Structure 1
Amino acid sequence: MFHLSLILNLRQLPRNILYTSRFTHTIYPLTIREIYDKKPLNQSINLIGYLLNVRKLKTHYFLDLFDGSLTNNQKHLQVVASLDKHPSLPHLTYGCSINVQGKLIRSDHPKQEFELQADNIDLINSCDATNYPFKPKFEQTLLMLRQHEHLRLRSTFAQVIFRLRSQLMLSLYEYFFKHNFIHIQTPCLTQNDCEGGGETFRIQPYQSQTTSTEKEYFNKQVYLTVSGQLHLETAANGFGRVYTLNPAFRADKNLSRFHLAEFWMLEVEVAG
């Protein structure tokens, strides 16, 4: 019922936001990666992304569109738009988010397989290129990425880290599934500790300043988990082969780059 209601709600959105054709079985917007994979030439398509570059040549604008679906932001899709048909083009700058609809055609450029001939361009969100922190050809330090967390995933460095993490977790799930392991979601809030697991973070309501066990939120002291080991050992009695890949929390007193207060930990238990 939930999936059906979600699809019905999506279908009520404006048609220029969604894309449906024989090249896809979903009603999500088409991605640039899907364009490179399926190459729907001479088809009318719709894309949503942000601009990596804006170039003007006489009466035409050339927009480098990127949407995060590719592993390298150097591989983008060029959008060609005429100033006569799109008078708002001079307002587009680096970093702008746009919704573009047009026809995918072969490109005459030797280093470019195809390009998008724009029929309609809608500006979703403008960008002040002067104050935008991630300027093109400008070094992006780790400190800068931390200071702009809402934008840091537009940087190549941050995207590589998260893509690697995503692929690693997928590979782990596939490996254990192939070897008949059951994935157990162990709780993050628990009373359990683990031998040699380190110090625990204690949980209590923000408003409460009491340390009395009679007035605890759960009427008992509860902590963030340091390990799912005890839950896995119990689950192994029923399933034989189990594993978990969950966050763990350690309140170590040594606040250094060698100690993490929060991290994801893979734990495996086999009965026998």
Structure 2
Amino acid sequence: MYEPTQTSCSFYYSGHNAHKGIFGHGLLIAGTGLMPGSAALAALGAVSCGAGKVTVQTEQEAVPVIASHVPEALYDFGTSIDVDHTFQAIAAGCGRAADNKMELIVQHLLQQNQPVILDAGALHSRSWQEAKCPVILTPHPGEFSRMTGKSIEHIQKNRLQEASAYAVKHQVTVVLKGEYTVIAFADGSGYINETGNEGLSKGGSGDTLTGIILALVMRNSHLKTAVADAVYLHGKCADIWKRMYPAQAMRPFGIHDLIPDAINEMVKERRR
């Protein structure tokens, strides 16, 4: 059953002794020396949504750009991850090429147990049946075409059906981005997101969404709620911008500045 997205509880914490450990340590495998901005945008999304700590696994040449925008970030210059790592969730692919190196990283990630969010270069045609962890895929129509072998035109005409069929077949969560983003779960349920506008139709917006999902998956143990909240929040930021300025003037780099207001509105919506 597919329903419109509704605000939920990913932003609440009922205790008084909060500290960074409570809100998770996430790993972001993203960016290169030639494309550091994607990692910066994803990290901004994560820290702006309450991730306790974020480590960016990237190339050393990318650090100056990332650090200038996200001083909170930690860094790792390795090319793999131990199966017995201590991260609560992992996101990979932003600003990375869909090459053999990325494929090896993804296959390694699928053998560990924590939730994995895959975007951009980490999205490819493959079987997910052997995954030992919850898998969240965040393709735009072009990437989903690459994953399924179906044309973009066909996917756009059958967004809900194609996303749901893929999620059920491969037992993953699919966030098919675009107007009325489809969030499809492995059990056949899902949401059609009602927030957002054309202001998000720019390179880099999806990187920020990946970071937001990373943070909320660590803050909310209910994966369905976390993913739905993340997509709703991402779109809500664009809606807030459009109330004040032309949608086409919105920059992905500005999304993180709108997150506090968007969270406040979501909390008020839930209390009504």
Q: TM-score, normalised to structure 2's length?
A: 0.23
> Which has the greater radius of gyration?
1
- Structure in which a larger fraction of residues adopt helix: 2
Higher relative contact order (CA 8 A, sep 6+): 2
- Structure in which a larger fraction of residues adopt strand: 1
